[in-house]
A and B are shown apart, each in its own frame.
Chain A
Amino acid sequence: EMELVEFGGGLVQPGGSLRLSCAGSGITFSTYWMSWVRQAPGKGLEWVANINQDGTDKYYVDSVRGRFTISRNTAENSLYLQMDSLRVEDTAIYYCARDRGSGGSRGQPHDYWGQGTVVTVSS
């Protein structure tokens, strides 16, 4: 069964840091762009960042640029999101998602999603 599983969420104080991880099993994502998408409690979806196949090209939503860093380890089929200088408004479920289209360029929607990991930023 194809699966993406996120780890690393938790409760952190404003200004703190967290590192989220996403592991793939039964699913190839080495040849795909990968994204992080978040959803604040009771709110809609917000795309956060994505990264190309070899980790050399990255895009971010304005609200996290300079604070969050997306990275990947292709050999380990893993995706990461380093979150620094966290704010209360970063509180959300964070989903790891695969951008459809193997070997393609940027500009694809998300065809596989993990179950999400909850990040709560509060004092």
Chain B
Amino acid sequence: DIQMTQSPSTLSASIGDRVTITCRASQSISVWLAWYQQKPGKVPKLLIYEASYLQSGVPSRFGGGGSGTEFTLTISSLQPDDSATYFCQQYTAHSPYTFGQGTKLEIK
């Protein structure tokens, strides 16, 4: 199976900061990568699909990039509502889907 590794595991940043989370795949997944946001006690929310496409309704301060084995989720200007855990997921067509272990983002 394809392993997904996120870094960092936890991150603390201030309002207005630019924040970047990295996700690495154990083998090439082209652009078949998604990012989700999950707040405590809530259901995961799809933010980004196909590495860089913004899901409908997601604020434009969220952006995704990368291809192959290295990907990033960037929040251009951190807002209080962005405190959450973020997960990447690979969804290649011919293998089990796998998630990264998560990055907990805290607001200073």
Contact = CB atoms under 8 A, between A and B. Distances in A.
Interface of A: 35, 37, 44-47, 50, 59-62, 95, 100, 105-111, 113-116
B55 A107 contact: no
A111 to B, nearest CB: 5
A33 B87 CA distance: 21
A109 B99 contact: no
A45 B36 contact: yes
Interface residues of B, number: 24
B100 A109 contact: no
Contacts of B96: 47, 59-62
Nearest to A63: B96
B32 A107 contact: yes
Contact of A45 (B44, B55, B91): B44
Interface string B33-48: 0101010000111100
B91 A107 contact: yes
Interface string B60-72: 0000000000000
Top 9 A-B pairs, shortest CB-CB distance: A107-B93, A109-B34, A47-B97, A45-B99, A113-B43, A44-B102, A106-B93, A61-B96, A109-B49
B1 interface: yes
B101 interface: yes
Interface in B68-94: 87, 89, 91-94
Contacts of A44: 87, 99-102
Nearest to B102: A44
Contacts of B55: 111
A37 B36 CA distance: 13
Contacts of A116: 43
Given A100-B49, A113-B43, A46 B99 contact: yes
22 contacts: A35-B97, A44-B99, A44-B100, A45-B36, A45-B44, A47-B99, A50-B97, A60-B96, A61-B1, A62-B1, A95-B44, A100-B46, A100-B49, A106-B93, A106-B94, A107-B32, A107-B92, A109-B46, A110-B34, A110-B44, A113-B45, A115-B43
